[in-house]
Structure 1
């Protein structure tokens, strides 16, 4: 390892865990933004000047006027007061502000560690790639918002799914890298963990569940029913639109998307149980984290549906989903240690 006496893998790992915690918070705020239908309240993308919110009545009126020009206001929210607009503006503003904070929290320390040559050999490109993923996430967020500004009254559920999945992939990558660095801090000769066949299989199964969770959010499919395990008195609800092709319904029909999400969850649980049991021999804490996360997530998912998408429960469901991704990355990393 080049300049091993100068590198600081433990400090880098601690920094990355802080960034990971901010991303988890970002996922929760993003979920609340979606649940409160706040995502289209800011109709412009101003990466720098957008940090400053409206500060006087004239600026608030200008922002509200921009919102009044889009279909969501004209078709769904006619008559909304300025006070009501300020409420939805708050969540979208907070979501974007936190995104900027994460960018600064990642970029500035990375530059500091790089200038001081404290990044271990081989980790620089990986950290730059993670930074680039964060930048891409910001662009995807605006791409998602654009889909709801002209014709639609909400954002594209497909673009929302891409936005969420990239955030969770970035979270997993940051947790994985932090764990590699923590191992390096304990043993200067430690090598990065590798992906095992089991890790790839479990990650793929979890990816499908996360995809359908994002589609449920984008289609408001959680409101299709407040029953569990049945859906409006039936096990299989059938597509919302009669005659819709199956492949189209699989990704675009709220009832079918909800059905897949609630039952693929048990396939995911089975895969996570296998991972947790395999991980137990290597890292008992990772095994406990996986079990705790998926057990809590299942209960929250059922409670969220039966409460007709109660906001605090739905936000907790989003939180534990992000924590489940982090716990799974921990377990898969443990399986791939060398």
Structure 2
């Protein structure tokens, strides 16, 4: 080997490639396989959220009045089967009090939306079961990850149960829609699953040794700030679900006032008073707006704190949160002022997905900062 001058630069091409041992190599491959599977689940859940939103906006959620996990996968295949399904729908309050006289073509339209929503949920469950069993059989699950993946599967299963619990609330009595708090529970579960999977994907994108090294540089203050952002963003998403559950976004279309006042008229007119928080459209929309202002103020504070991070890759995430929150707030105002047309409502829902995703990434990056050059 030729001798070098004492101050001669050494390029990376002169260095021998560093390779891990067989165990490390296997773990990297395993982490990659699990990550790809979780990315698929993430995309599917990302898709089912707006599909569920459209199911709600088209008043399709009560068109299928039974929950048959296996036989429900097959739609009506004959006119007699369609008539049977339509007869079941005619027995519920939504038809009798709101849609009496509906034509078969109109029923098929709402039926297909709900059927598609349920099939996508079944696909998500099947992807988890097949993927988990396959990874388990091939011993591709990294050490310490089996329990975490089981939690994801349990969450998916719980979402199916909560979905039927939600639908069943609108099948009797005088309910024209599903109970708003059950809708909020179902949507909140989807966002919680999405956030959890996003965290796992971020963790699997780096090796265990990299995460351990990065943990030593974690910024505790930013972690706490990001945690507050996640909690407030999630709470705002739940409030948005309550708004959607009773169509509260289609009334009080002036802004920043509500019907010309700071608070809407008849804000506490329902008895007992707690019912107003779930059933009074003015009250629900007011608190959705109020929490939005609080969240935006906290995001500005988080941006101010985050921009001072020594790690620029961490700081830029908080800049992204502020930018997205600004877009989301403006979109919310426009949606309300146009009485929540479906395309703006779905776009606003997508904004919530992006925002919660950014807050999760902010916390992950605060806990496990990405490496940066000293010069940077």
Give the TM-score of the pair, scaled to structure 2.
Answer: 0.83
Query: 3-state DSSP class of the match of 1:125?
Result: helix
- TM alignment of 1:196-275, pairs within 5 A: 196-240=223-267, 242=269, 244=271, 246-275=273-302
**Given that residues 259 and 265 in structure 2 are in contact (C-alpha distance below 8 angstroms), is that contact kept between their aligned partners in structure 1?**
no
Distance 2:22 2:185 in 1: 38
- TM alignment of 1:130-149, pairs within 5 A: 130-149=152-171
> Mind listing any 5+ residue stretches in structure 1 that lack a counterpart?
none
Q: 1:61 to 1:243 in 2, by over 3 A?
A: closer
**Given that residues 184 and 190 in structure 1 are in contact (C-alpha distance below 8 angstroms), is that contact kept between their aligned partners in structure 2?**
no
Matching residue of 1:109: 131
Matching residue of 2:26: 6
Larger Rg: 1 or 2?
2
Moved more, 71-80 or 49-58: 49-58
**Given that residues 304 and 314 in structure 1 are in contact (C-alpha distance below 8 angstroms), is that contact kept between their aligned partners in structure 2?**
yes
Distance 1:75 1:313 in 2: 28
Query: 3-state DSSP class of the match of 2:69?
Result: coil
Matching residue of 1:33: 55
Matching residue of 1:182: 205
Query: 3-state DSSP class of the match of 2:261?
Result: coil
Greater relative contact order (Cα < 8 A, sep 6+): 1
Matching residue of 2:349: 318
1:80-121: CA deviation from partner (whole Å, max 9, x where unpaired) = 000000111121111111111111222212222221111111
**Given that residues 31 and 142 in structure 2 are in contact (C-alpha distance below 8 angstroms), is that contact kept between their aligned partners in structure 1?**
yes
Matching residue of 2:97: 75
**Given that residues 269 and 276 in structure 2 are in contact (C-alpha distance below 8 angstroms), is that contact kept between their aligned partners in structure 1?**
no
**Given that residues 335 and 341 in structure 2 are in contact (C-alpha distance below 8 angstroms), is that contact kept between their aligned partners in structure 1?**
yes
RMSD: 2.4
Q: 1:139 to 1:231 in 2, by over 3 A?
A: same
Question: Is residue 185 of structure 2 the alignment partner of residue 158 of structure 1?
Answer: no
Distance 1:297 1:234 in 2: 24
**Given that residues 2 and 120 in structure 1 are in contact (C-alpha distance below 8 angstroms), is that contact kept between their aligned partners in structure 2?**
no
Matching residue of 2:327: 296
Matching residue of 1:173: 196
Q: 1:104 to 1:275 in 2, by over 3 A?
A: farther
Q: 1:177 to 1:60 in 2, by over 3 A?
A: same
Distance 2:304 2:22 in 1: 37
Shift of 1:149: 0.5
**Given that residues 137 and 167 in structure 1 are in contact (C-alpha distance below 8 angstroms), is that contact kept between their aligned partners in structure 2?**
yes
